[in-house]
């Protein structure tokens, strides 16, 4: 008897989820290396009931892994990843997380850290008193020592996933493995199948603002229409119950 | 007069059922590949779905079809799926597909095959092409498709290539409307195998829902009034019967 209300409510819930995704994307339109997400209404043949009219069966959310534009940046420790590889970072609790953001800096002890102070995995520390540290296209960190010679302090570690869309976003531009990420391939940038790093740039957000705003407008109309249907269904129930008075 | 009670009640029930259909159409106005349901005035002929036009009946005729002859309580509740194409939306994602003709085929873990116009596919952890629920997308031979790592390219015939090497051809088959039964919002079950269709695959595009929001909401309001009118009739008849049973012949 309440199927009208159920279907209408599912439309409202779906619209709200779409707006959640769009607002998160919009807020991160200027976040370096941010990957947008999208929410799509999807039918499901296996949850269909006998009369099969339950509204939106599933809101499927996808991580969109398209590479953002590269923006020039004069920090020699900044770089962009040109293919779908990820940089390994320490999560601070003995585990490994992954990021696309190549905005590394040095902390007070000469450790290579990300903007939140996380160490790279493996940790790379520059000796005291060195100058001109920079990231090489292969991921090695080089510097000039006191005698003026170029030295290598270590190499950043990069991985590729069979299915990068299966990663879970855990905030702060970090990702963790999920059940669907599949096999992990380790490699050196510049050696097949890894593209060399692009130094002197940072990857911009891949959010398309025009698309997000269009999505919000459509979702708002869906919400309005579903709310209207809900109201009509409610009114019809009232008429039905009035009969017994 | 008792008969009138039943005809009003039947009309209310029919209006309620149509309202469920409309509510579902509205809720799925953004569901990829959704096909709306409408009340039918006429049955489809036996041509393939790609040759079908949008369901032609204007909405008052459809209300008539559902609610029918209120006087006798008789109604022709015949709901059909409107298979007309939704708008194509460019997403630019390499595993989003739409097809001009026919349906994609997917297989659930328990071996059932369903057909859909929803071409929103993904890779799973093993590289299989799957739907968001994890059901396998089938190739022309009816087998799952395993994609090696790398960018995927598709041509109009459904041939998927990775790095220039052909991998598999997406199954694209068409049916006549009578061969398909709805299974959920965007999926269909087929009684018989479909006819392979040539070409028409588009990559980086999804087919939107074919819900017609203006029409659904207008019909919704019209059906609501039908419901209301019959409720009034029912209430009035009830009062009349009350008078007949309780007041006629009562000694003052």
Structure confidence by residue, pLDDT tens digits, A53-94: 788 888 899 999 889 999 999 899 999 999 999 999 998 888
Shortest distance between the Cα of B52 and any Cα of chain A, in A, equals 23
Residue A49 scores a pLDDT above 90: no
Strands A174-176 and A168-171: antiparallel
Tell me the β-bridge partners of B207. B88
Among B27, B122, B131, the residue with its CB nearest the CB of A8 is B27
Residue B43 scores a pLDDT above 60: no
% residues pLDDT > 70 (chain B): 84
**In angstroms, what CA-CA distances link A168 with A21, A37, A163, A178, A221?**
14, 11, 11, 6, 30
pLDDT of residue A239: 92
Residue B172 scores a pLDDT above 90: yes
In this structure, are residues A136 and A143 in contact, taking their beta carbons and an 8 Å threshold?
A: no
Please compute the mean of the pLDDT values over residues A192-220 and round it to a whole number. 93
Residue B100 scores a pLDDT above 60: yes
Please compute the mean of the pLDDT values over residues B24-36 and round it to a whole number. 94
Angle, helices B2-27/B59-67, rounded to nearest 10 degrees: 130
Looking at chain B, which residue has its C-alpha nearest residue A181?
A: B125
What b/e string do you get for B2-31 counting C-beta neighbours within 10 Å, with b at 16 or more? eebbebbbbbbbbbbbbbbbbbbbbbbbbb
What residues of chain A, 20 to 49, have a C-beta less than 8 Å from chain B? 40-48
Residue B196 scores a pLDDT above 80: yes
What b/e string do you get for A13-45 counting C-beta neighbours within 10 Å, with b at 16 or more? bbbebbbebbeebbebeebbbbbbbbbbbbbbb
Shortest distance between the Cα of B198 and any Cα of chain A, in A, equals 26
In this structure, are residues B165 and B194 in contact, taking their beta carbons and an 8 Å threshold?
A: no
Residue B74 scores a pLDDT above 80: no
Q: Taking CB atoms and an 8 Å limit, are B126 and A162 in contact across chains?
A: yes
pLDDT in tens, B118-169: 999 999 988 999 999 999 999 999 999 999 988 899 999 999 999 889 999 9
User: What pTM, to 2 d.p., does this model score?
Assistant: 0.86
By the CB < 8 Å criterion, does B213 face chain A? yes
pLDDT in tens, B211-242: 999 989 998 998 899 899 989 999 999 889 88
pLDDT of residue A34: 94
In this structure, are residues B152 and B127 in contact, taking their beta carbons and an 8 Å threshold?
A: no
Please compute the mean of the pLDDT values over residues A14-20 and round it to a whole number. 96
Lowest mean pLDDT among A180-194, B56-70, B78-92: B56-70
Looking at chain A, which residue has its C-alpha nearest residue B36?
A: A53
Give chain A positions within 8 Å (CB) of B114: 45
Q: What are the tokens at B167?
A: 């991998």
Q: Distance between CA atoms of B150 and B215, rounded to whole angstroms? A: 44
* Residue-averaged pLDDT of chain A: 90
pLDDT of residue A245: 67
DSSP helix/strand/coil, B236: helix
pLDDT in tens, A86-143: 999 998 888 999 999 999 999 989 899 999 999 998 899 988 888 888 999 999 999 9
pLDDT of residue B72: 42
pLDDT of residue B40: 63
Between residues A195 and B43, the one the model is more confident about:
A195
The most confident of the ranges A214-218, B44-48, B184-188, B226-230 is A214-218
B10's CB contacts (< 8 A; 6+ apart) are: B73, B74, B75
pLDDT of residue A104: 92
% residues pLDDT > 90 (chain A): 61
Enumerate long-range contacts of A138-142, CB under 8 Å, 24 or more apart.
A138/A188, A138/A189, A138/A190, A138/A191, A138/A196, A138/A197, A139/A188, A139/A189, A139/A197, A141/A77, A141/A112
Please compute the mean of the pLDDT values over residues A199-209 and round it to a whole number. 94
pLDDT of residue A1: 57
- pLDDT interval class at B70 (50, 70, 90): very low
DSSP helix/strand/coil, B219: helix
Q: What are the tokens at B200?
A: 């028409």
pLDDT of residue B195: 92
Q: Which alpha helices (DSSP H) does chain B contain, by range?
A: 2-27, 59-67, 213-246
Residue B188 phi, psi dihedral angles, 5° rounding: -135, 150
């Amino acid at each position: 008897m309440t199927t009208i209300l159920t279907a209408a409510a599912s439309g409202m819930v779906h619209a709200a989820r779409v707006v959640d995704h769009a607002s998160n994307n919009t807020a991160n339109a200027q976040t370096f290396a941010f990957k947008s997400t999208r929410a799509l209404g999807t039918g499901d043949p296996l949850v269909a009931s006998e009369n099969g009219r339950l509204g939106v069966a599933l809101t499927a959310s996808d991580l969109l892994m398209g590479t953002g534009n590269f923006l020039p940046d004069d920090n020699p420790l900044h770089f962009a990843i040109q293919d779908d590889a990820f940089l390994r970072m320490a999560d601070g609790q003995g585990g490994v997380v992954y990021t696309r953001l190549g905005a590394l800096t040095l902390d007070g002890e000469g450790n290579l850290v990300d903007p939140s102070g996380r160490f790279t995995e493996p940790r790379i520390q520059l000796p005291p008193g060195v100058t001109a540290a920079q990231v090489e296209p292969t991921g090695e960190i080089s510097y000039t020592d006191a005698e003026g010679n170029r030295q290598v302090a270590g190499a950043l570690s990069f991985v590729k996933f069979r299915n990068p869309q299966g990663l879970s976003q855990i905030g702060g531009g970090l990702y963790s493995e999920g059940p669907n990420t599949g096999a992990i391939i380790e490699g050196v940038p510049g050696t097949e199948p890894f593209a060399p790093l692009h130094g002197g740039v940072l990857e911009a957000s891949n959010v398309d603002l025009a698309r997000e705003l269009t999505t919000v407008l459509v979702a708002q109309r869906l919400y309005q229409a579903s709310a209207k249907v809900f109201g009509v269904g409610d009114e019809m129930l009232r008429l039905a119950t009035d009969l017994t008075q | 007069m008792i008969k009138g009670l039943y005809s009003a009640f039947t009309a209310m029930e029919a209006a309620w059922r149509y309202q469920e259909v409309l509510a579902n159409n509205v809720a799925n106005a953004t569901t990829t590949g959704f096909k709306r349901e409408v009340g039918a005035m006429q049955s489809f002929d036996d041509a393939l779905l790609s040759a079908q036009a949008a369901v032609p009946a204007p909405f008052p005729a459809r209300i008539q079809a559902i609610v029918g002859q209120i006087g006798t309580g008789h109604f022709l509740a015949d709901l059909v799926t409107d298979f007309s194409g939704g708008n194509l939306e460019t997403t630019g994602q390499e595993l989003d597909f739409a097809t001009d003709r026919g349906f994609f085929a997917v297989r659930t873990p328990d071996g059932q095959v369903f057909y859909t116009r929803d071409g929103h596919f993904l890779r799973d952890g093993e590289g299989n092409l799957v739907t968001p629920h994890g059901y396998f997308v089938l190739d022309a031979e009816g087998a799952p498709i395993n994609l090696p790592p790398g960018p995927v390219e598709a041509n109009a015939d459904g041939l998927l290539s990775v790095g220039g090497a052909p991998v598999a051809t997406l199954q694209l088959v068409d049916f006549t409307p009578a061969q398909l039964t709805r299974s959920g919002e965007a999926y269909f079950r087929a009684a018989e195998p479909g006819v392979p269709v040539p070409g028409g695959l588009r990559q980086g595009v999804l087919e939107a829902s074919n819900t017609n929001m203006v029409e659904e909401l207008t019909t919704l309001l019209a059906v609501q009034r039908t419901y209301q009118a019959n409720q009034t009739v029912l209430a009035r008849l009830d009062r009349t019967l009350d008078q007949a049973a309780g007041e006629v012949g009562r000694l003052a």
